[in-house]
Amino acid sequence: MIPTSYPTSDEMARLTARMLWEIEAVHFMGDEPFRFASGALSPVYIDCRKLISFPRIRATLMDFLTVTVMRNAGFEAFDNVAGGETAGIPFAAMVAERMALPMTYVRKKPKGYGRNARIEGAMTEGQRVLLVEDLTTDGGSKLSFVDAIRETGASCAHTAVIFYYGIFPETIRTLGDHGVDLHYLCTWRDVLAEARAQRKFGAETLAEVEAFIDDPHKWREENAK
């Protein structure tokens, strides 16, 4: 069912951050920073995949995401909703259900046998496709999915995520240069604001996180080991 309630973007951001804290999807650094697969260090970590295990929260956030996309892009702007393998697949299915649209998903790479396809499900030439994922950092990983969609003859000018890092200035430019608009619910600044509102951490930890958010490249240089 298409949502009929329309909270403001600021209120949706605040509530999304609150829900992410409630299910412990967000973590701030303890004694040591987090190290990602790329080797990069960070004082913050988020796992949006946990959302699928919390029915009331996931339903609310999918309502928020659907409303955000329709309000920003249009109520009749899409013909198909595609999820990016793997984290985007459940969220794409839930958004597609709300928008009463077909759902597909995009593989990270061809599966290597059979049709060797990257698109699973029915996607046809001329369809306007919304790409749904759980989050985006610098936007780079979205481009391969967008290209795979466009190779079918469909178009993809919009991607929607629950969480946008919002700390790398090149993200919007990277996507924009590829002809893609980004829609999202909240950022690290929203999560930090909610942590302060709930008095979750001491001043030192919050200051460290804020330093990273303000300049992640400088923070990583100063904390490299």
Question: Given this model, what pLDDT does residue 110 score?
Answer: 79
Residue at 111 is within a domain: yes
Q: Which amino acid is at 3?
A: P
pTM over 0.75: yes
Residue at 64 is within a domain: yes
Residue at 136 is within a domain: yes
Question: Given this model, what pLDDT does residue 116 score?
Answer: 67
Q: What is the pLDDT of residues 41-87, one digit of tens each?
A: 899 999 999 999 999 999 999 999 999 999 999 999 999 999 999 99
Angle between helices 188-197 and 203-214 (to 10 degrees): 160
Residue 175 belongs to a domain with what CATH number? Answer: 3.40.50.2020
Residue at 102 is within a domain: yes
How many domains does one find in the chain? 1
Residue at 197 is within a domain: yes
Q: Give me the residue label for tokens 């298409």.
A: 2
Looking at the DSSP bridge assignments, the partners of residue 27 are 45
How far is 80 from 103, CA to CA, in rounded Å?
6
How far is 42 from 135, CA to CA, in rounded Å?
16
Structural domain of residue 127, as residue ranges?
9-223
Residue at 3 is within a domain: no
CA 60 remoteness from chain centre? 15
Residue 24: HSE in the Cβ half-sphere, 13 Å Cα cutoff: 0
Residue at 112 is within a domain: yes
Q: Please report, rounded to a whole number, the percentage of residues in the chain having pLDDT higher than 70.
A: 94
Residue at 4 is within a domain: no
